[in-house]
């Protein structure tokens, strides 16, 4: 199968590209290589996918470029759209940029897709679309009142994806990811920061009092959910949560890392960012019903696996995390 992965040099897109290439598919990873974090990590994503299978190709390009998008969407059987400007905190400072990349870029892909015989268009959405919880865990019927420009951009894109399914009969699926982590994750994420600081004799820094909770999802569970979508049309037109259901507080997460690496280290606290969500927790019943999704990695097992990977790859990854 011919698969286009936008954002294919990024964290999730890189793992998808690697997995699909290893499965023997022809994969084009389209990515602008925007330097929102060190490009060396993105280069490692590209190399991992290139080594995984002969059918892999990397293309440097921007989803805002209509000609580039049209060329590669026309080639593909399936599009996995993961290209986006990411980061809740950065979006507060650059809302127009997030709209231009995330919303207009998504529209470019959808417009190109409706002129083809595409078998499926999978959109990477986010738990950020929910905003402040009325109840937990979030199910897909929970109101969507995002509290950051990033969340708004994902919700707007998600609505366009839904509309193209209804109006143009484009076979689409939107997956709402819950805080994905794992090998080669972005260096500014909580787990990578906690691990790097503990390895270097520094205290993990918690923003706020640490009572905030997250549903952390191991990247291999994300890859597994996306793999299923190659073989079934059961979820056409649906929006589904992809999480772990394994909710943990930020303080407990920091303690889990600290206790494994530097048990005598005290935690430190700093001012909480206003745009950060207070709690996230996924109800995955809909994804289980439609595609048989089940999370297989608990946060504690996933953290241990990441620490093992970090230690093996510390020589190149750690300097990028520490900046």
Span 202-240, pLDDT tens digits: 999 999 999 999 999 999 999 999 999 998 888 999 999
Q: Which residues contact 1 (CB under 8 A, 6 or more apart)?
A: 25, 26, 77, 78, 230
Domain coordinates in residue numbering, the chain:
2-181+218-244+278-296
CB neighbour burial string for 189-211, b if at least 16 within 10 angstroms, e if fewer: bbbbbbbbbbbeeebbebeeebe
- Spot the catalytic one: 150, 164, 181, 293: 150
Residue 114 has pLDDT above 90, yes or no: yes
Confidence at 181, pLDDT banded by 50, 70, 90: very high
Span 251-305, pLDDT tens digits: 999 999 999 999 999 999 998 876 677 889 999 999 999 999 999 999 999 999 9
| pTM of this structure | 0.96
- Helix/strand/coil for 29: strand
Superfamily of domain 2-181+218-244+278-296: NAD(P)-binding Rossmann-like Domain (3.40.50.720)
Is 130 an annotated catalytic residue? no
Span 55-90, pLDDT tens digits: 999 999 999 999 999 999 999 999 999 999 998 888
* pLDDT at residue 188, as a whole number: 82
Nearest to 75 by CA among 115, 35, 122, 128: 115
Question: In whole angstroms, what is the distance from residue 161 CA to residue 81 CA?
Answer: 11
């Amino acid at each position: 199968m011919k698969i286009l992965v936008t954002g294919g040099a990024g964290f999730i897109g890189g793992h998808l590209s690697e997995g699909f290439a290893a499965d023997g598919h022809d994969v084009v990873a389209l990515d602008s290589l925007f330097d929102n974090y060190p490009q060396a990590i993105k280069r490692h994503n590209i190399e991992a996918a290139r080594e995984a299978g002969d059918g892999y190709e990397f293309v440097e390009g921007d989803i805002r470029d209509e000609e580039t998008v049209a060329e590669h969407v026309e080639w593909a059987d399936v599009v996995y759209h993961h290209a986006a400007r990411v980061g809740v905190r950065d979006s507060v400072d650059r809302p127009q940029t997030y709209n231009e990349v995330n919303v207009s870029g998504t529209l470019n892909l959808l417009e190109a897709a409706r002129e083809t015989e595409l078998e499926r268009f999978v959109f990477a959405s986010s738990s950020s679309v929910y905003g402040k919880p009325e109840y937990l865990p979030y199910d897909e019927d929970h109101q969507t009142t995002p509290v950051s420009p990033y969340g708004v951009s994902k919700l707007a894109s998600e609505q366009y994806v839904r509309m193209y399914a209804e109006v143009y009969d484009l076979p689409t699926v939107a997956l709402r990811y819950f805080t994905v982590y794992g090998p080669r994750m972005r260096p500014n994420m909580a787990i990578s920061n906690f691990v790097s600081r503990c390895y270097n004799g520094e205290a993990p820094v918690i923003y706020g009092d640490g009572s905030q909770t997250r549903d952390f999802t191991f990247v291999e569970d994300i890859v597994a959910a996306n793999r299923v979508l190659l073989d079934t049309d059961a979820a056409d037109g649906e929006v589904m949560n992809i999480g772990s259901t394994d909710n943990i507080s930020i303080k407990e997460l920091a303690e889990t890392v600290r206790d494994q690496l530097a048990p005598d280290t005290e935690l430190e606290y700093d001012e909480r960012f206003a745009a950060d969500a207070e709690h996230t927790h996924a109800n995955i019943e809909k994804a289980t019903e439609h595609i048989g999704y089940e999370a297989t990695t608990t946060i504690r097992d996933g953290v241990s696996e990441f620490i093992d990977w970090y230690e093996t790859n510390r020589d190149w990854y750690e300097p990028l995390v520490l900046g």
